[in-house]
Amino acid sequence: LSRPSSPDVVVVGAGFAGLYQLHRLRGLGLSARVFEAGSGIGGTWYWNRYPGARCDVESLEYSYSFSPELEQEWEWTERYPAQPEILRYAEHVAERFDLRRDIELDTRVTAAVWDEESARWAVTTEHGETVTARFCIFATGCLSKPKDLEIPGLDSFAGPVYSTARWPHAGVDFTGRRVAVIGTGSSGIQSIPVIASQAAEMTVYQRTANYSMPAHNGPLTAQAQRERKANYAAFRDAARHSPAGLVGKLPTENALDVTEQERRRAFYKAWSAGNLGAMRRSYADIGVDIRANDMAADFIRDRIRDKVTDPATAEALLPSDHPFGTKRPCLDTGYYETFNSPHVHLVDLKKTPIEAITATGVATADGEVEVDDIVLATGFDAMTGALLSIDIRGRDGRTLADAWADGPVTYLGLGVAGFPNLFTITGPGSPSVLSNMLVSIEQHVDWISDCLARLERDGVTTIEPNADAQAGWVEHVAEVGQATLYPLAKSWYLGANVPGKPRVFMPYIGGVGAYREICDDVAAEDYRGFDLEKASASM
Ligand code: NA7
């Protein structure tokens, strides 16, 4: 198969963003090469194969909307799809739209350098190949670079160390093993019950107790699927214009304005819904007023107390250091109940931090627990990690790392001043991780594709955010974030999970629908805030 050494576009990443971007580029008649570091497509759903890995957004919402045929023909089996099913879906999409022939697997991009004279990006892969392209689109994901672990001694551990984000394809059998799991975010909370069902002994190392609600997952009935499919267009439209890319009735009342009895009823309803956004959506003030938030948080803490038999363990599992929703809450299947099994132990790292990992186990001030296996569910260098691990150089050789030394700065999360013809799909400064990713991915890909069509039509050679527009957007993103409770948590949204990372609230919390309107207006006003240059004008 011969591939162009100078395609119109290079796309980095073949997860859900890269796949759809390639499909749209084909429709525009642009040539493209897609580089993917993994040995398969699917991004997040290729790498995160840990036991219990599942999407917290319902399958009928966490799926592409761009093709009505695809929408109708694909059958989901569960309300919340498990990783293997989502990966099969991605593979089906790649086959159905004949995408594979432009995707190169096992090919990590190491550098992308802008060449002023030719107005092209030189993109270099780990195999030493360099291709040049007019446009470079980064579809590298928001949670794709696992965080380096700061705990000393990991290398000295004699047994296997597994990372949830790099799980062995053959799976792992924990039967009869003594297992340590470090981390209680979504990946920990999903995998702990499944690993515990096999392990002989399990010790969970918790630094931050999270808020988790029962998923109430189950098979998707044929009828539910039929009904949604009969009405898909309207449903998708509602998602596109919603705050988080998820369909749901928005609250008009404040928790502070109703009686305790009413609140309890609403909280119970939200708790029983098995829906990530339901508790937040129970009242309008949950996300912005700490008093209302405390009420929801107290309600969840009571439910945790109900579930966990041992009072000391229950107490340690209660989230206490951040308001509800300011770190990503979780949906679980039997998480808290797992701690009622006599072979499952919880270590509260707030009281006894890990001092070191030794050859034989995990050591805290309370002594060493001997284990056979260590599972790291310790999260990601979110939103900027994947981009900054590529040597990206824009105008005058300036690196992206330099431009982002004090935290990411973008215009709309779509582009960066000084980096012409570069686009980021779900980049920092866009709703991305605060939304249903599929909705946000499609919106960005469509916006970028429409933009490229316009540039082609009018013979524009370069597009680049201007510095003022970018500064204005950065300020707006920060301002909107400040008006919420989010800054009260040491979360990965703020870069707080990675030592030394600048503390900047990275995603845009203004809402998916409002954000879409802003992006559409920018395009309609001839790409307001972007500088467009034609070849003739620059000569
Ligand atoms: P998360 O949500 O970042 O969770 C990582 C967990 O690991 C979290 O509990 C961390 O505690 C903990 N952690 C991280 N570093 C350490 C060290 N050094 N010692 C002990 N514990 C540590 O990642 P996930 O993979 O679970 O989920 C990522 C997203 O995927 C999720 O939000 C959904 O969007 C899907 P911390 O909270 O930092 O104190």
Give residue-wise pLDDT tens across range 274-322. Answer: 999 999 999 999 999 999 999 999 999 999 999 999 999 999 999 999 9
Q: What does each C-alpha distance from 207 to 135, 231, 487, 505 come to in angstroms? A: 42, 44, 19, 21
465 close to 430: Cβ distance less than 8 angstroms: no
Mutate to test the pocket of ligand 1, among 375, 497, 506 (most ligand atoms within 8 A of CB): 497
At 504, list the tokens.
């900047």
Cβ neighbour number for residue 253 with a 10 Å cutoff = 14
Query: What does the pLDDT read at residue 1?
Result: 66
- Residue 497 near ligand 1, beta carbon < 6 Å: yes
Specify the DSSP element, H or E, that contains 485: none
- Over residues 215-239, the pLDDT tens digits come to 999 999 999 999 999 999 999 999 9
Residue 61: closest CA among 349, 438, 314: 438
Please give the distance, rounded to the nearest whole angstrom, from the Cα atom of residue 184 to the centre of ligand 1.
6
Distance CA 213, CA 388 (A): 34
* 29, burial (CB in 10 Å: exposed 0-12, middle 13-18, buried 19+): exposed
How does residue 2 score in pLDDT terms, banded at 50, 70 and 90? confident
- Residue 185 near ligand 1, beta carbon < 6 Å: yes
HSE at residue 537, side-chain half, CA atoms within 13 A, is 9
- Over residues 192-206, the pLDDT tens digits come to 999 999 999 999 999
Residues 6+ apart with CB under 8 A from 242: 248, 250, 511, 512, 513
Specify the DSSP element, H or E, that contains 465: strand 460-465
- Over residues 408-422, the pLDDT tens digits come to 999 999 999 999 999
Helix, strand, coil percent content, the chain, rounded in steps of 5: 35, 20, 45
**pLDDT averaged over every residue in the chain:** 97
178 close to 158: Cβ distance less than 8 angstroms: no
Query: What does the pLDDT read at residue 535?
Result: 77
Which bin fits 330, alpha (ψ -120 to 50), beta or left (φ > 0)?
beta
Long-range contacts of 295-303 (CB under 8 A, 24+ apart): 295/255, 295/263, 295/267, 296/255, 296/267, 296/324, 297/211, 297/323, 297/324, 299/263, 299/264, 299/267, 299/271, 300/211, 300/213, 300/271, 300/324, 303/271
430 close to 412: Cβ distance less than 8 angstroms: yes
Query: Against a cut of 0.90, is the pTM above it?
Result: yes
Distance CA 392, CA 422 (A): 10
The protein residue whose alpha carbon is closest to atom 25 in ligand 1 is 379
- Residue 190 near ligand 1, beta carbon < 6 Å: no
Residue 482 has pLDDT above 70, yes or no: yes
- Residue 182 near ligand 1, beta carbon < 6 Å: yes
Q: Which atom of ligand 1 is nearest to the CA of 379?
A: 23
- Over residues 265-282, the pLDDT tens digits come to 999 999 999 999 999 999
Q: Which residue has the tokens 């206490």?
A: 320
Residue 335 in 3-state DSSP?
A: helix
- Residue 349 near ligand 1, beta carbon < 6 Å: yes
- Residue 107 near ligand 1, beta carbon < 6 Å: no
- Over residues 39-64, the pLDDT tens digits come to 999 999 999 999 999 999 999 999 99
421 close to 435: Cβ distance less than 8 angstroms: no
Distance CA 411, CA 433 (A): 17
